Amino acid sequence: MQIGIPDDAGPLVAATPSAVQKLGALGYDVVVTEGAGTAAGLPDDTYRDVGAQVVSDRAAAWECDVVVCTTVPDDVAERMRPGTMLVSRLAPAAHPDRVRALADRGITALALDAVPRISRAQSLDVLSVLSNVAGYRAIVEAAAEYSGMFGGQVTAAGSTRPATVFVIGAGVAGLAALGAATALGARVRAFDVRPEVAEQIESMGAEFVSEPAAQQQVSADGYAAPLTQEQLAAALRLYTREAAAADIVVTTALVRGTAPTTLTAEAVAAMRPGSVIVDLAAPGGGNCELTVPGERVVTGNGVVVLGYTDLPARMPRHTSELYGTAVANLLTLLTPAKDGEVRLDLDDVVQRGMTVARGGEVLWPPPAVQVSAGPPAPATPQAEEAAPGAAPGAGAPARRRPAWLNGALAVAGAVLGGLAVAASPAETVGHFTVLALAIVVGFYVIRSVTHALHTPLMSQTNAISGIILVGALLQIGSSSVLVTVLATIAAAVASVNVFGGFLVTRRMLRMFRRTDDDGDTTARNDAGAAGATEGSAR
């Protein structure tokens, strides 16, 4: 089968040479329109070098068995042959007439912007790709507009304070924006109505702004729901307060494609002259009341409001590279035999969720896919029925101990511990003192270290475990059976920690090791494995 890569209207291209090479390995013949990758810095010769057929006839790519593009023209159904397949961003909810036209022509249409949000489909999710690039580019645009430097500077003539960046929303775009701003040295604060993302924000080096009155319960599907009137009022007060203290504000709030208002005209009026607002929700109408989609606006008090809707296209090389990788991953899924033949399996929830038209039928919207971004809600305990003859109240839940009893037990435990230490030899008292200090120091060290450094911190505990191991080995030969048993257990546990720490260190280092893959330099990402090792869930 032939895969066509037409010349899209914008600077993006649906497949880079590395993606074309992967498609060729799957058994496909790739046809690329002449000049399709020029705007992304990819000359035609780079496509020819990997085996693609570069054609000057712009209609040739549209007549292939499979057509892959980043955007579709209004007459896409007329350009393609009946019975072929289209893979692109289709916005099926916003353009039902287009989907109907494709179905009427017998075209199988797969929407890359309808990928189910489940872990198995992340490698196909172009929306995350575009959001990531948009978040990064938002900081680039803000830095160009801002009249100062992001990072604080110390010079012989004096010092400057770092810029303050406030990010509204911690989805893919928001996290990319705060990561880029942190890397530039800015002081970054962020807020999201989903409380479960606080740890992600802090792991990126930003400060999570807490406002319980404006936050929802832990979401079941990873998306924010519309706020109640009380939550909305609390959120708007928070946004107004933070925006007034910020130099740059990045808004990313979208609820099912709709942009709620997060910055009112009054909030913008309270901001300092020279401040910058980058509205990443401009394609959905904008989060700021003064946003004009696609344009740069300067308010009466000197605040710059950027409502650009083409931020990913302003970085065409890397956007095209990531987009093409997602396309190659999709075709790999559709070609299990690697024989150049597409086999669409509608029993697969990922393929079914993307398929909006097939065999003359419109298949949009797809069946709901159950996803869970947060921990499942604990089941409500129910008292079991008492068995016949059981004592009254046997099935009732246990009564909680009163608070005074817990306090009394704590005091009694402290007194007994003090007496045990007082009755111990002076040598043992010293050991107890070292243990207590180690517990206190360890507690404050762990609490003060950012989440992103927990893995390397755990790796450094290998040295401590090694000391424990040496001490245990010295005590194994003791004449006391109890000491020998405890030393053997300590040696075994310390050995597990030492070897486990080396494995964690190795995985951590592999995250930053670069390997050559089809001529491109890529970074191996074992973050999920390292995160699982330290007991954190994404």
Catalytic residue among 8, 44, 65, 125: 125
pLDDT value of position 314: 96
User: Which contiguous run of DSSP H or E holds residue 324?
Assistant: helix 316-334
pLDDT at site 459: 60
Residue-level pLDDT at 482: 86
22 touches 332 (CB < 8 A): yes
Task: Give catalytic status of residue 47 as yes or no.
Answer: no
Q: Which residues of the chain have pLDDT under 70?
A: 217-226, 256-257, 370-403, 445-464, 511-538
Q: Is 296 a catalytic residue?
A: no
Cα separation, 437 vs 449, in Å, equals 18
- pLDDT value, residue 313: 95
296-298/304-306 β-pairing: antiparallel
Q: Pinpoint the alpha helices (H) of 105-251.
A: 126-145, 172-183, 198-203, 229-245
Among candidate residues 48, 79, 100, 117, the one labeled active-site is 117
> Nearest CA to 287 among 274, 268, 313?
268
| Among 29, 100, 223, 510, the one annotated catalytic | 223
**Rounded alpha-carbon distances, angstroms, from residue 111 to 4, 115, 333:** 16, 7, 15
Torsion of CA 95, 99, 104, 105, to 10 degrees: 110
Pair 99, 92: CB distance under 8 Å: yes
Amino acid at 141: E
Sorted by sequence, the CB contacts under 8 Å of residue 277 that are 6+ apart come out as 243, 248, 249, 250, 251, 263, 268, 271, 288, 291, 303, 304, 305, 306
- Give the phi and the psi of residue 66 in degrees, each rounded to 5: -130, 130
The CATH T-level fold of domain 131-314 is Rossmann fold (3.40.50)
Active site residue 247: no
pLDDT of residue 528: 41
Q: What is the CA radius of gyration of the chain?
A: 30
CA torsion through residues 280, 284, 290, 292, sign: positive
Catalytic residue among 81, 104, 120, 122: 122
Q: What angle do CA 527, 280, 96 make, to 5 degrees?
A: 100
Q: Do domains 2-123+315-362 and 131-314 have the same CATH topology?
A: yes
Out of 18, 21, 88, 128, the active site residue is: 128
3-state SS of the chain: helix, strand, coil percent to 5?
45, 15, 40
Sequence-separated (6 or more) residues with CB below 8 Å from residue 120:
350
Q: Is 357 helix (H, G, I), strand (E, B) or coil?
A: strand
What 22-26 contacts at long range (C-beta under 8 Å, 24+ apart), as own/partner pairs, is: 22/328, 22/331, 22/332, 22/518, 23/328, 23/331, 24/50, 24/51, 24/52, 25/338, 26/331, 26/332, 26/335, 26/338, 26/340
CATH superfamily entry for domain 2-123+315-362: NAD(P)-binding Rossmann-like Domain (3.40.50.720)
Residue 120 burial (C-beta neighbours within 10 Å; 0-12, 13-18, 19+) = exposed
Give residue-wise pLDDT tens across range 391-444. Answer: 444 444 445 566 677 778 878 887 887 787 777 777 777 777 777 777 777 777
β-pairing verdict for 29-33 and 53-55:
parallel
Quick one: how far is CA 480 from the chain centroid?
55
Q: Which amino acid is at 512?
A: F
pLDDT value at position 297? 97
Residue 340: helix, strand or coil by DSSP?
A: coil
Q: What is the DSSP string of 476-503?
A: TT-S-HHHHHHHHHHHHHHHHHHHHHHH
Q: Helix, strand or coil for residue 168?
A: strand
Residues near 485 by beta carbon (within 8 Å), at least 6 away in sequence: none
What are the residue boundaries of the structural domains of the chain, listed by start? 2-123+315-362, 131-314, 450-533
Residue 494 backbone class (left: φ over 0; alpha: ψ -120 to 50; beta: rest): alpha
**DSSP assignment letter at 113:** G
pLDDT of 381 = 45
Peptide bond into 260 cis (omega under 30): no
CB contact set of 538 (below 8 Å; sequence gap of 6+): 528, 531
Q: What SS3 state is found at 154?
A: strand
- CA neighbor of 240 nearest in space, from 216, 220, 265: 265
Residue type present at position 66: V
Q: Is 28 a catalytic residue?
A: no
Active-site residue flag, 122: yes
> Are the C-beta atoms of 16 and 39 separated by less than 8 Å?
no
CB 65 within 8 A of CB 85: yes
